[in-house]
Structure 1
Amino acid sequence: MKKRTVYAWGVAILSFVVLMIVTPAIPQSEAYHDFADQREFLGIPNTLNVVSNFPFLVIGLIGLVLCYYGDYFKFSLQGELWGWTCFYIGVAAVAIGSSYYHLKPNDARLVWDRLPMTIAFTSIIAIFIIERIDERKGTISIIPLLLAGIVSILYWRFFDDLRPYAMVQFLPCIAIPVMAILLPPMYTHSTYWLWAAGFYLLAKVEEAADKVIYDWTHHIVSGHTLKHLCAAMVPVFLTLMLAKRTVEPERQSLLKTWKISWTKFRKTDGTVESDGTVESYTCTYSTVPVVESQ
């Protein structure tokens, strides 16, 4: 193992230990289970919060089938196939685990809601490492990352402390957009990562505004139901990305692409010369006599 890799793991572990020491424990609030929309239709408790998980099952199964349907996704690396397989298994399992939880919300059932999500989160991190950093390191990291996610759930359940789970959930939300922008991609259509991140961010906002949205919509739909639907758009966009993308012949980061596009735009609108200098224009105005009508 290279020294740089050892240093990276050392810094990560040290940062985690320091964070656990300097921050207080975050217990699971019982109020979390008190969702705004608790209506029952057709004998199904919390109906909309349950059935709104169905899209996860659909897109999870579709993605899983397409991973092995000939060469539909055109994976270049074996590690990619394993990573995306874990991701789609996690997505499909979200539908089952979250539905089970929302039928009777409590801490014991919440484990099965969060466990599939950690599988999806950690798989995505491994996929990014495979595609943008190193295939071997990324492939090897799949199992440790999955285990880290599972351990974070168990730690919360046994010690009533959400800090490790919060890191597993929210660090990818920061790391993935940053890596998508800064690291050169192996494939085209990298902007789909940002669309996916945007929908997930919107989902978290809707989750936080559960009761507010329920009141705004005059008790038609709650924020948590909309959160499920928005979160399901994440695998939808990633599946579209996999279907459309091709190998990038000239690997350059989104940041560099945006810089080049901005430079070209400034040149075409006449504000920048080819050598980068700004054109200046001088305007002169003449006085026009005005004759008043008699």
Structure 2
Amino acid sequence: MRKRVVYAWAVALICFIVLMIVTPAIPQSQDYHNFADQRTFFGIPNALNVISNFPFLINGLIGLVLCHHGNYFKLSLQGELWGWTCFYVGVAAVGIGSSYYHLKPDDASLVWDRLPMTVAFTSIIAIFIIERIDERKGMISIIPLVLAGVISIVYWRFFDDLRPYALIQFVPCIAIPLMAILLPPMYTHSTYWLWAAGFYLLAKVLEATDDVVYKWTHHIVSGHTLKHLFAAMVPVFLTFMLAKRSVEPERQSLFKVWRISWTKVKEGDSNVESYTYSRVEVEEPQ
């Protein structure tokens, strides 16, 4: 098993090196900082983009309190506590770092927007490893994964190349839904992961359509502001999941559950009742 883990990391490292060799660098476009809504309210520049980050801070602080106050989430593994703590610290820090960035958007302040996001992303991957693969491996992976996220930010700032950061951000977007569907869960309410992934996907769409949404809403709210609000729903769903879930007695992946349900539906449709009609003779009155 240990050799397989080493081989897996070696393959991942080789793939990363090859990717860095064969793909061109991705510099940070300065147009990224030119958001649609740049209005000032109450002396706050880019006010709505700043204020819309506060839900991250609130969600992160609530999650931290619930994690450590009497084990409200009923976390059964020590690694889980560390993983979720890192996640909620990252979420709360997004509220501060992203607000700071939007006060004066540039590359230097963008570091403090992206850095806590990488902590949250990488923590989630570690949590999945802990809950669905192996607790020890997941717990050991927390620090390396978080460090990988930090290094991707440092690499971008020194070399103006977003490729490592793009991997850190987008690989979890693919890996988390796949693991949520394919790997047997330790706990119930796994569908909350998919709800969280769906809201994050919507947030990315809104981010890409910042100007379009701003025009559609007649300059009331921009896509980037809505992106913050939709992305802030991710920790909300995960917090609800942690509060409601319990240990899964029968560990079955969502894919297997869906397949069983679909099979039952098909069998139900095929069981058509057959009716037989018998001929009844009626005697005519004489």
Interval of TM-score (by shorter of Structure 1 and Structure 2): over 0.9
Deviations 1:99-136 (A, max 9, x none): 00000000000000000000000000000000000000
- Show the counterpart of 2:110: 110
* Distance in 2 between residues matched to 1:121 and 1:180, nearest whole Å: 15
Alignment of 1:97-136 (within 5 A): 97-136=97-136
Report the 3-state secondary structure (helix = DSSP H, G, I; strand = E; otherwise coil) of the residue aligned with 1:127: helix
Between Structure 1 and Structure 2, how many residues are aligned?
275
Q: CA–CA distance in 1 between the matches of 2:265 and 2:157?
A: 53
- Counterpart CA distance in 1 for 2:157 and 2:164 is 11
Q: What are the within-5 Å matches in structure 2 for residues 107-256 of structure 1?
A: 107-256=107-256
Within 2, Cα distance between the matches of 1:53 and 1:82?
24
> 1:143-167: CA deviations, max 9, x gaps?
0000000000000000000000000
Q: Can you list the C-alpha shifts for 1:224-246, whole angstroms capped at 9, x where unaligned?
A: 00000000000000000000000
Deviations 1:181-207 (A, max 9, x none): 000000000000000000000000000
Q: Counterpart amino acid of 2:241? A: M
* AA matched with 2:101: Y
TM-superposed deviation, 1:69: 1.2
CA distance in 2: counterparts of 1:100 and 1:89, whole angstroms: 17
Q: Which residue of 1 aligns with 2:283?
A: none
Once the two structures are superposed, residues 225-275 of structure 1 have per-residue CA deviations (whole angstroms, 9 ceiling, x without a partner) of: 00000000000000000000000000000000001111222233xx234xx
Report how far residue 76 of structure 1 moved: 1.1
Rounded to whole Å, the distance in 1 between the matches of 2:274 and 2:17 is 60
SS at match of 2:187: coil
Distance 2:104 2:27 in 1: 20
Alignment map for 1:21-36 (pairs within 5 Å)? 21-36=21-36
**Counterpart-to-counterpart distance in 2, 1:105 and 1:178:** 34
CA distance in 1, matches of 2:43, 2:266: 61
Cα distance in 1 between the residues matched to 2:23 and 2:257: 39
Identity %, equivalent residues: 80
Are 2:280 and 1:272 aligned?
no
For the residue of structure 1 that corresponds to 2:206, the secondary structure is helix
Determine the C-alpha separation between the residues in 2 that align with 1:56 and 1:232: 6
Q: CA deviation at 1:2?
A: 1.1
C-alpha separation in 2, matches of 1:98 and 1:267:
52
| Partner-residue secondary structure (3-state), 1:263 | helix
> What RMSD over aligned residues (CA atoms) do the two structures have, in Å?
1.3
Mind listing any 5+ residue stretches in structure 1 that lack a counterpart? 274-278, 283-294
Query: What secondary structure, in the 3-state scheme, does the structure 1 residue paired with 2:270 have?
Result: coil
Shift of 1:71: 2.3
Q: Secondary structure of the residue that 1:27 maps to in structure 2?
A: coil
CA deviations 1:69-102 (Å, max 9, x no partner) are: 1121011100000000000000000000000000
In structure 2, runs of 5+ residues without a counterpart are: 276-286
Structure 1 residue matching 2:113: 3-state secondary structure: helix
The 1-side partners of 2:200 and 2:37 are apart by: 21
Aligned to 2:284: none
CA–CA distance in structure 1, aligned partners of residues 92 and 23 of structure 2: 34
- Three-state SS of the structure 2 residue aligned to 1:13 is helix
> Map of 1:69-88 to 2, 5 A cutoff?
69-88=69-88
TM-score, length basis structure 1:
0.92
Q: Give the TM-score of the pair, scaled to structure 2.
A: 0.94
Question: What is the match of residue 281 of structure 2?
Answer: none
